[in-house]
């Protein structure tokens, strides 16, 4: 079993609503016409129609709520998870790790020289660098993994079914790809690099401890880079 497998499936409210309405209509159609007065049958059919309208409205409302929740979970600039939503995913993964004794790791990423980009090229170029890094991370992790923006120039990557050794190899590969990417078009060549830290989601650890470990290792790597 993987962490992805352990997540509960989602069902569409509209499908459930349509199935219930069809079942009600089928039951009514099976009753012989001469056993129910015409006026009563008409009244029942009218009520079924009203019920279906209510079910449809409820399904549409639930779909809209889901859409708004999705928007609330995304960073407006990068279209990745925001801090709140990402930490919720880590909490969920940690609960699954504790229950099923699976492995998962957190990668804490910080952009090294975003201030230089902002100072030399402007904040629009800085935003372009952040967007490029977010896209590079998203494009180079698995579908079952998650990436979120933890702060202005900080990212978190949740790697499911990954021990620290695997997570470190993934983080190293991401750093290489990010460093190799070109600067924004029309800008001076100020290449973006990242520092990162790794922390395993251990069964006896709390979310705050995991973040602290990864953050501490990331800052140590940043100091070593000078």
Strand order in the sheet with 194-200: 146-149, 154-160, 104-111, 194-200
Q: Give per-residue pLDDT as tens, 9-48.
A: 554 444 555 555 565 566 556 666 656 667 776 777 787 7
CB 197 within 8 A of CB 215: yes
The predicted model scores a pTM of: 0.73
CA distance 119 to 121: 6
Q: Give per-residue pLDDT as tens, 87-97.
A: 999 999 999 99
Q: Percentage of the chain with pLDDT > 70?
A: 72
> Which pLDDT belongs to residue 44?
74
Region of residue 225 (left: phi > 0; alpha: psi -120 to 50; beta: else): alpha
> What amino acid positions are annotated as catalytic residues?
153
CA-to-CA separations, 40 to 36, 37, 49, 85, 101, in angstroms, rounded = 7, 5, 14, 52, 59
Q: Give per-residue pLDDT as tens, 188-221.
A: 445 689 999 999 999 999 999 999 999 999 999 9
Q: Give per-residue pLDDT as tens, 119-137.
A: 988 999 999 999 999 999 9
Mean pLDDT of all residues in 50-78: 73
Q: Give per-residue pLDDT as tens, 65-75.
A: 655 455 689 99
CB 219 within 8 A of CB 109: no
């Amino acid at each position: 079993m993987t962490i992805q497998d352990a997540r509960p499936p989602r069902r569409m409210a509209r499908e459930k609503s349509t199935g219930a309405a069809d079942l009600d209509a089928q039951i009514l159609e099976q009753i012989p016409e001469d056993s129910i007065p015409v006026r009563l049958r008409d009244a029942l059919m009218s009520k079924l129609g009203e019920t279906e309208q209510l079910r449809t409205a409820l399904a549409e409302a639930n779909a809209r709520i889901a859409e708004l929740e999705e928007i609330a979970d995304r960073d407006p600039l990068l279209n990745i998870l925001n801090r709140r939503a990402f930490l919720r995913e880590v909490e969920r993964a940690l609960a699954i790790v504790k229950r099923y004794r699976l492995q998962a790791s957190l990668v804490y990423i910080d952009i090294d020289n975003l201030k230089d980009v902002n100072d030399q090229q402007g904040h629009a170029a800085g935003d372009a660098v952040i967007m490029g890094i977010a896209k590079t991370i998203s494009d180079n992790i698995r579908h079952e993994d998650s990436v979120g923006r933890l702060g202005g120039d900080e990212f978190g990557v949740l790697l499911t079914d990954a021990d620290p050794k695997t997570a470190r190899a993934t983080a190293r590969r991401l750093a290489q790809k990010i460093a190799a990417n070109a600067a924004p078009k029309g800008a001076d060549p100020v290449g973006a690099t990242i520092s990162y830290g790794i922390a395993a989601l251990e069964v006896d650890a709390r979310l705050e401890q995991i973040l602290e470990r990864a953050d501490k290792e990331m800052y140590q790597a940043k100091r070593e880079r000078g």
